[in-house]
Each structure stands twice: as C-alpha cells, then as structure tokens.
Amino acid sequence: LSMDYSEHWPFWSFSGEVNRYIARVQYLLRKGHPSADAALLFPGLAFPQGYGNPAEPMDQGVFEGEPVPPEETEISAGNARMRSIWGAARSLEQAGQTWSWINEHALASAHFENGELHAGNLRLKSLHLHDIEALNAATAERIATLAAQGLPVYVTGTPPQRQRGLVDWETGDQR
C-alpha cells in the first residue's frame, strides 16, 4: 500500500492531531501489566494460514448461510484443530473469563507466584490444554511443576499422549 503522504494529502492538516492521539494511546497501552483469567497453550510455532475465528459474523469473507469453499486443503487438519480450540476459547468467554495464548517458550520461562502464572509481563490465573495430542516432554514436565506449585491446569478434548517430533521419541513418549 502506498500513497502520497505530503501536504497535498487531504488529511494532512489533521496528521499532527492523529499522531498525538496515537502517541497517547501507545503510552497508555505500555502502562500496567496485561492479565487474563486463563491461558490457552498453543504448542508449536505456526498458526494455520488462512484460518479465522468461526464465531466472527463474517469468516473467511463469507457471511453465515452462504456457500463456503471446500475444506479439503493441506491446512484442513490445522483448521479442524483450530476450530476446536476456538470453541474452548469461546466457552471461556461465555463463562465470563478472559484468555490469552501462551506458547511453550513463554511457559518454560514462566513462574508461579501469589496465585498467578507470570509469563513475562503477562499475569494468568490458570492454564488450559485443549486438543493437544503431542507436547514436548520438557513442556509437560514444566506444566507438572507449575501444577504442583498450585497453578490450576485444565485438560479438555484430546490429552497429550506423545512428544512432538522423532528425536528420542521413545524416551520422550515415556516421560
């Protein structure tokens, strides 16, 4: 996207005011610490491409009731899993809880203190694993340690039964 951003731009006279507003909002957003009632574990590094939240009124450019493109693509398995996870997130929202994603890297460096999981600046009250059939052994052990310290951990859908990847898979699956 490009445009003629100069004094000939129709909104040029408002750009100072808009930039001051953006600066105030950015300053405000940097204050305090983010918190949520629940953390949804998102293992792995990739978020399925081309996926949206099915609870949105217009998902993937299609309104409810309109024909949807076929689901049989190379990312359909990831999409099915994400639909399941969005369902769990929606259940949390309907119960009046706020939630945030957390990944394995953030969980590895997180600590439990005063009834909250501290992951960087993020404060969380519980951890939810939903439809996670594979999990790194080190992450599973970290979750067990945090649970022993008092963090509420909820497992719904398919529980982790094996490690991800093939490196030392026999040992990792037993851990």
pLDDT value for 55: 63
- CA 44 – CA 93 distance, rounded (Å): 24
Q: Is the dihedral of CA 120, 122, 127, 129 positive or negative?
A: negative
Q: Are strands 35-36 and 58-59 parallel, antiparallel or unpaired?
A: unpaired
Q: Which residue has the higher pLDDT, 8 or 20?
A: 20
pLDDT value for 45: 47
pLDDT value for 34: 84
- CA 175 – CA 169 distance, rounded (Å): 10
Q: Which residue has the higher pLDDT, 65 or 17?
A: 17
- State the CB neighbour count (10 A cutoff) for residue 41: 22
Phi, psi of 143 (to 5 degrees): -60, -40
- Mean pLDDT across 42-68: 59
**Total residues found in the chain within this entry:** 175
pLDDT value for 74: 45
pLDDT value for 52: 59
Q: Give the chain's mean pLDDT.
A: 81
